[in-house]
Chains A and B, each alone.
Chain A
């Protein structure tokens, strides 16, 4: 009974402050209503990102996904850390030796190459293509999307039509056509280019529409009134506030691109042997699924897990950046 007087704040009554839309109006006889003073653009974005980071740090899904991706990244950069075996030193005598044969964890493939080493080295292609394609698409989409959204006019219309044209061709189909047109060798770079060519449009659209919605915000108008130039307004006021949905999408897109590369390689139109790619490994397993199912299952599991990690990361990012979605 003798607990000290509680000088409490309005916290905990979620939303009750926000919900009273009636501002105090001296001409009206109204009850006093506490209002929050609205903060500026800079504060808003700082708190958006720091709130997001605080929430991410506590999200187990985020932690697990980013740990796994870190392992995959190291695997891609330094496969030697994971295996001493050269994936290309093969011995036909070991052909399709199952897991455990001669101490090889994942057994041997058709050529008698160590499957574990091959699967480990396969991470490199996937991660490289994922980062290369999404990085380039981000660059194209963000630059063009920001310009289209900010300036509008003929440039915006032109960009809309061009994205429409590319949207007509789905990622895989477009990439098949383009890759088929490339003569000569089809390596990581070529496959990457084909995926960029048909993968950048959504980023442009997302960024364009968030730029348009941010552009009208008061703090941007204020910066304009203060005489900030376009470049400064775009880079310091608009982009930081418009980029969140794009980042969420781009994270998930990495997973999509990795799956697309594997699909193309599986179809025989992406990477070519002797490149090492999970898609090629799955293709190679086609005819032996009855007798050696591990040849299919192991690279499939690695591939799916990688895609899964990026999707979970994107989901966690979205939850953190857009609290009203949950």
Chain B
């Protein structure tokens, strides 16, 4: 048994000195007020990102990955969505309390996003050239002609063959992979310092996925931006991420360096994730998916939200929520028994 009293009194972990990182998400909560009740999609979420760093965010469907990304971008629909607490600090300044125009100036220019499904994320009735050029026209006031020239350069940069002649094509005239490149060209137009990639390859063929991932990493290396990579693909995370944050029911349950977390997970949910996918180094072992289904976010279980599905759950788990706490230097987990799991 771990020392419960100690872990309960430990304060929620926050970045030590505000502004010491490029992007700091601090105690962020988002809820959706729907006819079926209040869906608490993101709960007291905190993480940070540095220049040139890749942070992978993992978690089952519905764990709040996309909603937290949308909150950073400032594109949550109100209603039904409301940000109920927290700060999102970019270079030390809180995006949520900035005035609207200033916030808009950041959007796309400093922090950009690439969505999962490029076909629906691009406007079907405008040419890709016009959609990329719009970034320059709106943020920099560039003339249309000049903006289109920039757009062609960008399409070149994301390796779209014969970029110039394709400026006037419409999204539906591109293949899935090429469309995702267009999305990336648009996101990278103004050299943002933070790029959020929300499952950028999920909608693509396996072979194309690898190309897009590689391109993404090359581009990141070129301009040294911080990358938040939201994905379901543990293989990719293992290869590209510096740090990983595992989300469950709108909270981070474990975070730390990629090798440490993947090498010896400290949270039962992370353990479950690792066991539910085939791994090269453990060929022949049986896969054991996590039993049960994700919690209803309109009615999150009390105590540790994972307890109904947790193989290690004890009575305490139902009553006390384990805070996210430092278990080893640079590693945090939200489980009463994190140390024991780590040692096992």
Contact = CB atoms under 8 A, between A and B. Distances in A.
B318 A10 contact: no
A17 B294 CA distance: 10
Interface in B264-281: 273, 276-279
Interface in A6-28: 6-14, 16-17, 19-22, 26, 28
Contact of B299 (A1, A8, A28, A30): A8
A10 B206 CA distance: 29
A325 to B, nearest CB: 16
A312 to B, nearest CB: 22
Q: Give the 6 A-B CB pairs with smallest separation, nearest first.
A: A16-B62, A29-B235, A8-B296, A20-B61, A29-B277, A12-B298
B319 A1 contact: yes
A30 B308 contact: no
B292 A7 contact: yes
Interface in B258-308: 273, 276-279, 289-290, 292-299, 301-303, 307-308
Contacts of A22: 202, 232
Contacts of B339: none
Interface stretch (B9-17, B32-40, B132-140, B215-223): B32-40
Contacts, number: 89
Contacts of A8: 293, 295-296, 299, 301, 308
A13 B298 CA distance: 8
A31 B299 contact: no
A213 interface: no
A22 B202 CA distance: 7
17 contacts: A2-B318, A6-B295, A6-B308, A8-B301, A10-B293, A12-B39, A13-B39, A13-B296, A17-B61, A19-B61, A21-B203, A22-B232, A28-B235, A30-B232, A31-B60, A31-B61, A32-B60
Contact of A2 (B293, B296, B307, B319): B319
Contacts of B214: none
Nearest to B276: A32
B58 interface: yes
A31 to B, nearest CB: 5
A59 to B, nearest CB: 15
Given A29-B233, A30-B234, A31-B232, A9 B293 contact: yes
B245 to A, nearest CB: 14
A74 to B, nearest CB: 37
Taking residues whose C-beta sits less than 8 angstroms from the other chain, chain B's interface range is 35 or more
Contacts of B301: 5-6, 8
Given A31-B273, A31-B276, 16 more contacts: A1-B303, A1-B319, A2-B319, A5-B301, A6-B299, A8-B308, A10-B294, A12-B39, A12-B297, A13-B294, A13-B298, A16-B61, A29-B277, A31-B234, A31-B277, A34-B61
Interface of B: 34, 36-37, 39, 58-62, 202-203, 206, 232-235, 273, 276-279, 289-290, 292-299, 301-303, 307-308, 318-319
B296 A1 contact: no
B237 to A, nearest CB: 9
Contacts of B36: 12, 14
A7 B309 CA distance: 8
Contact of B34 (A6, A14, A17, A28): A14
A28 B299 CA distance: 32
A32 B298 contact: no
A13 B60 CA distance: 13
A3 interface: yes
Nearest to B235: A29
Contacts of B289: 32
Contacts of B59: 31
Contacts of B234: 29-31
Contacts of B60: 31-33
B4 to A, nearest CB: 14
Nearest to B298: A12
A255 to B, nearest CB: 30
Nearest to A2: B319
Nearest to A5: B308
B308 A7 contact: yes
Contacts of A14: 34, 36
Contacts of A6: 295-296, 299, 301-302, 308
Given A20-B61, A34-B293, A12 B299 contact: yes
Contacts of B279: 29
A6 B233 CA distance: 29
A286 B276 CA distance: 80
Contacts of A20: 61
A2 B232 CA distance: 34
Contact of B297 (A13, A30, A32, A33): A13
A85 to B, nearest CB: 50
Contacts of B58: 31
Contacts of A7: 292, 308
A31 B308 CA distance: 19
Nearest to A34: B293
B291 to A, nearest CB: 10
